[in-house]
Amino acid sequence: MYIMGIDTSCDDTSVAIIKDGFQVLSNLVSSQHDIHQRFGGVVPELASRRHIENIIPMIKLALKEARIEKEDIDVIGVTYGPGLIGSLLVGLMVAKGLSFSLKKPLIGINHMEGHIFGAILEHRELHPPFIALVVSGGHTDLVLVKRYFSYEVIGSTKDDAAGEAFDKVARLLDIGYPGGPAIERVAKIGHIDYNLPRAIPEGFDFSFSGLKTAVSRLLKEDIDIPSVAYSFQEAVVDVLVEKTIKACNTSGIKRLAISGGVAANKRLRERFTEESQKNNIKIYFPSISMCTDNASMICCAAYFRYLAGHKSDLTLNAESYCGYPNG
Ligand code: KG4
Ligand code: ZN
């Protein structure tokens, strides 16, 4: 069974084809860093225009790499939200067109659910219930995955998402775009810990905007930029680790998946690995390229939803903001 997945939720044009739910035949991502770099963030209108240019060549390339014809596709999975509306619409319209012309089922996938399925795709033994920490450019969510397609958000950020904080701080430090990989790279040569504040809001929620303000204040002094990057990364990772491990211990659910772009951070992976061992928690990380946006995670979610009898019709619309899809 061949599933084609399409994700154009933000600035990456992603197309993938997987076989029988888990075998990745092609997983292509065309990033747009070149056009957004000089603005220090994604410019929505430019992103959707680039998606329009990219999407058909990417589909052709994905089919070629998977060595199949478009007629061989059995199911089409597509991200409908959350994300940038113009960007989402490009992937969605193309997916609907394919579904209609090939007479193959269409399944709309929530991007955040997709990130969770990125961990499932690479770890077949990962079954619900488990705790998922989804850390990306727009989200920082602690989710209890009770069953397949049954989600309870037990904590999320009150202000900036963790990835957003990485991006904004990298811009303050003027060290490049996207911010996460730039901070990780520069932090390696940081040698002073400026001991930046760790905000610990009630329950399982997060807050990163104060940390960003603390960095901007620090910049008024004579400081070592790599050490600021190092101190910032330590502060973000500390809070993510503390709250997430607490969520596992409190719920008694000792299986943890960590996904989304920030999960690509090596320091985060190192600290989570150490702490989960101490707390007897089994941890599941997607590989680095599966953490950041890609369409094979969308294929895997579509596979599970297809097997459960879910199907979308051509009225499926793009949604900028939407919660985790229960049911
Ligand atoms: O999941 P993703 O690719 O797109 C969204 O759904 O938002 O996540 C992108 C975010 C960006 O904020 C980026 O700076 C961050 O993930 N990121 C990282 C790393 N790689 C990407 N943050 C920290 N360390 C990294 N190595
Ligand atoms: Zn994402």
Q: What is the pLDDT of residue 38?
A: 87
Intervals of the chain under pLDDT 50? none
Total-model pTM: 0.97
Cα dihedral 216→217→220→224 (10° resolution): -70
pLDDT tens-place string over residues 173-190: 999 989 999 999 999 999
Secondary element (H or E) of residue 276: helix 266-278
Q: Is 32 close to ligand 1, i.e. is its CB under 6 Å away?
A: no
Q: Which atom of ligand 1 is nearest to the CA of 111?
A: 6
Q: Is 62 close to ligand 1, i.e. is its CB under 6 Å away?
A: no
Q: What is the pLDDT of residue 31?
A: 94
- Rounded distance between C-alpha atoms, residue 117 and residue 257, angstroms: 10
User: Closest by alpha carbon to 105, among 95, 115, 114?
Assistant: 95
Please name each of the domains of the chain with its CATH number.
Answer: 2-116+290-307 (3.30.420.40), 127-288 (3.30.420.40)
- Rounded distance between C-alpha atoms, residue 67 and residue 81, angstroms: 29
Dump the DSSP string for 106-135.
Answer: EEEEEHHHHHHHHHHHH-TT--SSEEEEEE
Q: Who's near 116: CB < 8 A, 6+ residues apart?
A: 132, 134, 143, 145, 257, 259, 301
Q: Which atom of ligand 1 is nearest to the CA of 136?
A: 8
Q: Is 210 close to ligand 1, i.e. is its CB under 6 Å away?
A: no
Q: Which atom of ligand 1 is nearest to the CA of 167?
A: 14
The residue whose CB lies within 8 Å of the most ligand 1 atoms, and thus the one to mutate among 29, 136, 267, is 136
Helix ranges (DSSP H) in 174-224: 179-187, 209-218
Q: What is the pLDDT of residue 40?
A: 84
pLDDT tens-place string over residues 191-244: 999 999 999 999 999 999 999 999 999 999 989 999 999 999 999 999 999 999
Ligand 2: centre distance to CA 129 (Å):
22
Dump the DSSP string for 19-81.
Answer: ETTTEEEEEEEE--HHHHGGGTS--HHHHHHHHHHHHHHHHHHHHHHHT--GGG--EEEEEEE
- Rounded distance between C-alpha atoms, residue 160 and residue 138, angstroms: 8
How many other C-beta atoms can be found within 10 angstroms of the C-beta atom of residue 251? 16
> Helix, strand, or coil here: 327?
coil
Q: Which two tokens stand for residue 3?
A: 């599933």
- Rounded distance between C-alpha atoms, residue 167 and residue 115, angstroms: 19
**Residues less than 5 Å from ion ligand 2, measured at CB:** 136, 293
User: Closest by alpha carbon to 70, among 150, 142, 146, 15?
Assistant: 15
